[in-house]
Structure 1
Amino acid sequence: MAQSQSPSIMSMFNIPEKLNVSGNLSENWRTFDQNFKIYLVASGLDKSEDARKVAILLNVIGEDGIKIFNNFALTEDEKNNFENVMKKFQEYCEPKKNVLHSRFLFYTRKQEESEQFDSFLTDVKRLVKSCKFEAEDEAVRDRLVLGTNDLNTQKKIVIEGDADLDTVITKLRLAELGRQQAAEVQGKVKVDKVVDRRSNSKPVQNNMVLKCKWCGEQHERKLEMCPARGKLCTKCNRYNHYATVCRSRYVKVIADSSLQNQEDSDGEFYCGSVQKMIQGKLN
């Protein structure tokens, strides 16, 4: 007979929550069953006699669980058989399922476009529990490879051969992490380029700064800003431009003062008209 545990030692362990009979009873039972068995092992009560373990079960399962137990058609010996009692609870909470439907849900599960891989993995592992596959790990591996939204990694895994479940999980996780890191880097580079272009560009203004064809210098596109305005060209004897930018070739002219300071149609000014050509030819 197993030695009894003192109350002080027993209080060191968390007692499982009562069985919740509302909502998803099947899922609630799996949670309770796992927590209860962990509690038995942690406290050392798993070595107790069957009758005591059944009593501990009924003590923590709650009133709704006791009502379910009382409806079991069991003999006295069967009521004191711990494994038998646990099996009865499982059959009650997890009625026979449509395996074909469960496998349909499993086979058609695909990773959504924006779904994280770990979310997809968790759901696949949940769905496989109801499919009654003999080799669950292989089934999960196949669904992860065939259902992933990462077609590049999918192709590599298939080409490389029969990878096990852990290898497939690692490859798909690393591929997702790599894509996330690459997206962060690319996003940073794009932002830097936009900032750089903006910082190096000149603001667009109505009065743009251009190189003037009359003085050869850069200034705003305003007549009054041109230093050559009113100046006489020493090359052609015309006004309003410098000799350094003069376009006359082999020509000597007499300027008509009445035509000085005329402006062309685009808002710029030009030299006075040539009244008389003394010699030379215009090309």
Structure 2
Amino acid sequence: MATPSSNSVSENMTTPPSAPLYGGNVPPMSMSGNLCVNWKKWYQSFKLFMRASRLDIEDDSRKVAMCLHFMGDKGLEIFNSFQKDEEKVTYKELILLFEDYFVPKQNLTYESFKFFTCKQTETETLEEFACKLQNHSQNCQFGELQDRLVKIMFICNLHSKYAFLQEKLLPKDDLKMDETLKLAITIIQSRIQASTLQVSHNIEISHKVEIIHKIVKIIQIVILLRKNVQDVDNFIVSDALP
């Protein structure tokens, strides 16, 4: 019985075409609580899923279908309220529609006002104040100036108890905000260490002075005792004389 040649075997074998990597899932978007935050988290997860599954290279109609499918029933209801045809809307347009719906419009003047009037309170740490400024700056659309403006406001609006920091930080024009914060923390730590050493030194000196005072007091007592003994001896001698 003739066996098929290796060439005929290879001709009969077919290699399946490469397929996108599927797997995982994206839970429906939560429609309770802060919808702005929920949307941003959900959309980030959806984008990661699309990229990992190699679905981000698909045509718009499939990406639109995937997005509406994974958002869930509530998401589909919101889309229907836009009065758009899912067969005609582009993926980019769909995302912008949801952005406009879930993310409230920001008043840049008001957001900038909050940023430029933000000051450190007496109980706030340097890290907490820096974080508060960073958060406020996110809503101001400062662009490339953001880091520089945060640094300026950090130095200018420190609490009065940190006035000595301003003198140290103002000349450091070449530092970025994170470097400025690290330098400020280092200066504070050095100041605390120096203060601790000074207190320790003062305690040591005080202890030595106290010891000296005790020694002097003992010497005075010894001198007084000797004087009293001598007076007694003199009295006895004088009393014995005829």
- TM norm structure 1: 0.60
Shift of 1:92: 0.2
Matches within 5 A, 1:203-282: 209=218, 211-216=221-226, 228=229, 231-233=232-234, 238-239=235-236, 254-255=238-239
Whether 1:154 and 2:169 are equivalent positions in the alignment is no
Residue equivalent to 1:243: none
Give the count of matched residue pairs.
Answer: 218
C-alpha separation in 2, matches of 1:115 and 1:231: 72
CA displacement, residues 68-118 of structure 1 (integer Å, 9 cap, x when unaligned): 223222123444x21111101100011322222212111111222342333
CA distance, structure 2, for counterparts of residue 32 and residue 125 of structure 1: 24
| Partner in structure 2 of residue 5 of structure 1 | 20
Q: Distance in 2 between matches of 1:102 and 1:179?
A: 31
Structure 1 segment 63-82 matched on structure 2, within 5 A: 63-79=73-89, 81-82=90-91
SS at match of 2:142: coil
Amino acid at match of 2:127: D
What is the distance in 2 between the residues matched to 1:35 and 1:178?
Answer: 41
Which letter does structure 1 place at the counterpart of 2:30? N
Structure 1 pair 254–144 and aligned structure 2 pair: CA distance change class (3 A): closer
1:78–1:84: 8 Å Cα contact kept in structure 2? no
The alignment status of 1:94 with 2:103, answered yes or no, reads: yes
Task: Please list the CA deviations of residues 35-79 of structure 1 after superposition, one character each: whole Å capped at 9, or x if unmatched.
Answer: 332333344332222223223323433443333223222123444
Q: Quote the sequence identity (%).
A: 23
CA contact under 8 A between 2:26 and 2:70: conserved in structure 1? yes
Partner of 1:28: 38
**1:54 — aligned with what?**
64
Indicate yes or no: 2:94 matched with 1:85. Answer: yes
Letter aligned with residue 146 of structure 1: C
1:29 and 1:93 in contact (8 A); partners too: yes
Higher relative contact order (CA 8 A, sep 6+): 2
- The verdict on how the C-alpha distance between 1:29 and 1:117 changes in structure 2, with shifts beyond 3 A counting, is farther
5+ residue gaps in structure 1? 203-207, 218-225, 240-252, 258-283
For the 8 Å contact 2:127–2:181, the answer to whether it is kept is: no
Partner of 1:107: 116
Higher relative strand content: 1
Q: 2-side partners of 1:172 and 1:85: how far apart?
A: 41
- Tell me the residue number matched to 1:172: 181
Task: Let me know the Cα RMSD of the aligned residues.
Answer: 3.9
